[in-house]
Amino acid sequence: MEELLQIIQANIQYAHFIIFGALLLAGFNIPVSEDAMLFISAILASSHPEYLVQLFFGVYLGAYFSDLICYSLGRKFGPKLFEIKFFAGMVPAERVAKISAYYHKYGVMTLILGRFIPFGVRNGLFLTAGLGRMNFTKFALSDLLACTISSLSFFSLYYYYGETVIDYIKQGNIVIFSLVLILLAIFWYKNKRVA
């Protein structure tokens, strides 16, 4: 990450474009970490406050449009995506219906919580929303809210506290991920008992 930070810092006047473009690639399932881009943007903004607005909007809009790309891939190509090895392991086909049910039942909360879960879960949620034919406007507005909350939260934390907060963020992500797994297990157990 240090090398990437140095490259972007050497081109600080274009940093927001570089970060925005890198995040668009993430929408196509290219492994670009949104968390790393948020961290880099905030660190750069703290050392170059004159670029604060551009850096924030570069990472924020990059993350949001990346989500829309991922959603659109799922919606446009549907189950055919699972025939492409690149996407096949992302979300197992049998899980699409279950995640779609969570979208219908919990709506915006699914996206808000999902945006805080690392380890590639975000793209899986967005792809599944498209595969499940979630209404585009509903997805776009829900994700706009979720993206705004997560981007502002992480950017602010990194901007004000820098590297000292990273260990806390990692621990927080693990806690959130664990809680979501526990909730999913509870819902699965309840649904199994009802059936």
What pLDDT digit, counting tens, does each position of 136-177 carry?
998 899 899 989 998 999 899 889 888 777 667 667 667 766
pLDDT score for 82: 66
Cα 190 to Cα 185: distance, rounded to the nearest angstrom: 9
pLDDT score for 54: 95
Measure Cα distances from 70 to 45, 104, 114, 145 in Å. 28, 19, 14, 17
11 DSSP assignment: T
CB 12 within 8 A of CB 44: yes
Is residue 62 classed exposed, middle or buried when 0-12, 13-18 and 19+ CB atoms within 10 A define those classes? buried
CB 131 within 8 A of CB 87: no
Instruction: Tell me the one-letter amino acid at 63.
Output: A
pLDDT score for 77: 81
Largest CA distance in the chain: 59
Question: For residue 152, how many other CB atoms are within 10 A of its CB?
Answer: 12
pLDDT score for 59: 96
Structurally, the chain folds into a number of domains equal to: 1
In the predicted model, residues of the chain with pLDDT beneath 50 are none
CA 45 to chain CA centroid, nearest Å = 21
pLDDT score for 94: 66
**What residue numbers bound the domain in which 47 lies?**
2-194
Instruction: Tell me the one-letter amino acid at 71.
Output: Y
pLDDT score for 58: 96
pLDDT score for 152: 94
pTM attached to this predicted model = 0.76
pLDDT score for 41: 92
Counted residue by residue, the chain has a size of 195
